[in-house]
Amino acid sequence: MKQEVLVIDDNFDIRSLISEILKDKNYHVREAANFNQAIFEIDKKLPDIAVIDVKLDKGDKDGIELLKKIKSITDLVPVIMISGHANVEMAVESLKLGAYEFITKPFAPEQLLNFVSRGLENISLRKENRHLENRSFHSFDFIGQNNQVLKIKKLITKLGSTDSRILISGPTGSGKELLARKIHKNSQRNIKPFIVINGALLRGDNYEKELFGSENTDGTITYGFLEKAKGGTLLIDEVSEIPLDTQAKILRILIDQKFKRSNGKQDIYVNVRIISSTSKDLKNEVLMGNFREDLFHRLNVVPIDIPSLHSRSDDIPLLIDYFQKKLSEINGIPKIEINVNDDLLYSYQWPGNVRELRNLVERISILSQNENKANIGRLLHEILSKNNSQTLANTNLSMDYPLKQARENFEKNYLLTQLKKNKGNISKTAEFIGMERSALHRKLKSLGIKGIN
């Protein structure tokens, strides 16, 4: 199906010229010659993209009013504003109101076509991202009441009004991309694209094309990740995997705020918020010579460290309940009940972190329809035991130690599990295990167990 462009200009010659340029490239074009015609066309059917002259028959800013109308309906129709009487204030106002580009007359056909093509590609990416986000994340929230998680939530709120670069660190599956998406949604850039690139892709020959794009010999343009994220947020996932020679080039972009496409001559200015994520200790990578210290400091303006699930296991009941409700909604199946007091949930190491827990809940939810609690519990143990053979070793007496050492190992694992289940509350733990509070304190001290956060 042809993509549709609405061209609004009160000058017949210019309107016809723009229409012919677009029709030659196989676009379907609708036209409006004045403000009222434009309102009629917009109300009848929104186009895929609009080209609007700022000054029409009713006043100096009729085009601005049309821009506002389209943006009040949807943010998924890019608008290119054009004017023969342009000034800086007019261009700035248009862009603030959501215009995709501002062009001054006269303009080259190639310039118009590039802006139209890029605007449509930009919207296509945003629609795809929303679709993927709905499928992959389904508007999942960053769940937890652990002290570290609460600090991160407060920080997200504070970051909403800034464009500071952010470095998110955390183990695989802890929610780094989810957190980056939440920061983007909470920012002033939330109607612009959120683009993700894996640092491992920025290697060798493909580096410039992937990041900068290229101007091809046939006159077409291949847009890189920086331009695809224009006005929005670019998440560089696993930033530690970027080779050192490429790191130097990225540093130059951050300093100069501009780049050239491959085979291009014109400077493209960067208006993108950079968020980076890593599952490695980037400070250690700097010490080992694997990551540039100057780039680290440029990216690490606001550091966020996401804890592992095992270190915040007091959030497990909240997470299980949340995922049960969400996955029931997504998959259209009844919610099943998982015993959140099962000791194995707290002694298990969770190498895949929150992602592993979510997958576990989804798997059990699907396989345990119409099953009783006992069968659900057996399935839970079966899955976790297969996922990590160490779990069994941690939850059973080991035959490789003398009796005294084996007993201490068991007591330590047992008490840690009970403390995590009770969110570090000594009184509740003592009551559950049948021990005096003071005696439990002495036992914890003798086993070298400190407070649980």
pLDDT of 133: 56
Query: Is residue 125 domain-resident?
Result: no
CA pair distance 304, 155, nearest whole angstrom: 9
Mean pLDDT, residues 55-66 taken together? 76
Q: Is the pLDDT of residue 113 over 70?
A: yes
Query: Residue 389 CB: number of other CB atoms within 10 A?
Result: 8
Query: Is residue 128 domain-resident?
Result: no
pLDDT of 137: 47
pLDDT band at 216 (very low <50, low <70, confident <90, very high): confident
Which range marks the domain in which residue 259 is found?
A: 137-305
Mean pLDDT, residues 239-245 taken together? 89
Q: Is the pLDDT of residue 201 over 60?
A: yes
Per the CB < 8 A criterion, the answer to whether 69 and 39 are in contact is yes
Distances (CA, A) of 34 to 5, 105, 265, 400: 16, 18, 38, 87
CA pair distance 280, 84, nearest whole angstrom: 53
Distant-in-sequence, close-in-space partners of 45: CB < 8 Å, separation ≥ 6: none
Residues 142 and 161 in one domain: yes
Query: Is residue 367 domain-resident?
Result: yes
Mean pLDDT, residues 171-200 taken together? 90
Per the CB < 8 A criterion, the answer to whether 171 and 307 are in contact is no
pLDDT band at 374 (very low <50, low <70, confident <90, very high): confident
CATH number reported for the structural domain that contains residue 435 in this entry: 1.10.10.60
* More confident site: 258 or 433: 258
Please give the share of the chain, as a percent, with pLDDT higher than 90: 38
Mean pLDDT, residues 296-324 taken together? 94
pLDDT of 138: 46
CATH number reported for the structural domain that contains residue 55 in this entry: 3.40.50.2300
Q: Is the pLDDT of residue 161 over 50?
A: yes
Residues 159 and 104 in one domain: no
pLDDT of 59: 61
Q: Can you state the percent helix, strand and coil of the chain, rounding each to 5?
A: 55, 15, 35
pLDDT band at 263 (very low <50, low <70, confident <90, very high): confident
Number of domains in the chain: 4
Per the CB < 8 A criterion, the answer to whether 344 and 394 are in contact is no
pLDDT of 366: 87
Mean pLDDT, residues 255-282 taken together? 90
pLDDT of 249: 86
pLDDT of 6: 96
Residues 143 and 188 in one domain: yes
Partners of 196 in the β-ladder: 235
Residues 214 and 324 in one domain: no
Least confident of 345-354, 369-378, 421-430: 421-430
Residues 212 and 167 in one domain: yes
Question: Which residue in 3, 22, 2, 26 sits closest to 14, CA to CA?
Answer: 22
pLDDT of 433: 76
Residues 110 and 145 in one domain: no
Partners of 8 in the β-ladder: 32, 52
pLDDT band at 177 (very low <50, low <70, confident <90, very high): very high
Pick the last residue of a domain from 116, 147, 163: 116
Per the CB < 8 A criterion, the answer to whether 398 and 405 are in contact is no
pLDDT of 73: 84
pLDDT band at 406 (very low <50, low <70, confident <90, very high): low
* More confident site: 442 or 6: 6
CATH number reported for the structural domain that contains residue 252 in this entry: 3.40.50.300
Q: Which range among 30-44, 56-70, 295-309, 432-446 has the greatest average pLDDT?
A: 295-309
Residues 28 and 169 in one domain: no
CA pair distance 401, 394, nearest whole angstrom: 13
Mean pLDDT, residues 418-433 taken together? 78
Beta strands in 156-207 (DSSP E): 166-169, 194-198
CA pair distance 256, 275, nearest whole angstrom: 18
Residues 174 and 278 in one domain: yes
φ/ψ of residue 381, rounded to 5: -65, -40
CA pair distance 115, 102, nearest whole angstrom: 9
Distances (CA, A) of 32 to 40, 68, 270: 9, 17, 34
Q: Is the pLDDT of residue 447 over 50?
A: yes
Mean pLDDT, residues 97-120 taken together? 90
Residues 296 and 336 in one domain: no
Query: What's the mean pLDDT when you consider all of the chain?
Result: 85
Q: Is the pLDDT of residue 322 over 90?
A: yes
Query: Is residue 91 domain-resident?
Result: yes
pLDDT of 414: 72
Using DSSP, state whether 153 is helix, strand or coil.
helix
Distant-in-sequence, close-in-space partners of 436: CB < 8 Å, separation ≥ 6: 430
Least confident of 217-226, 243-252, 286-295: 217-226
In the chain, the N- to C-terminal Cα span, in Å, equals: 57
Q: Is 409 exposed, middle or buried (0-12, 13-18, 19+ CB in 10 A)?
A: middle
Q: Is the pLDDT of residue 323 over 70?
A: yes
pLDDT of 230: 87
Q: Where are the alpha helices (DSSP H) in 97-175?
A: 109-136, 147-159
pLDDT of 392: 44
Q: Is the pLDDT of residue 180 over 80?
A: yes
Mean pLDDT, residues 403-411 taken together? 66
Least confident of 86-90, 150-154, 208-212: 86-90
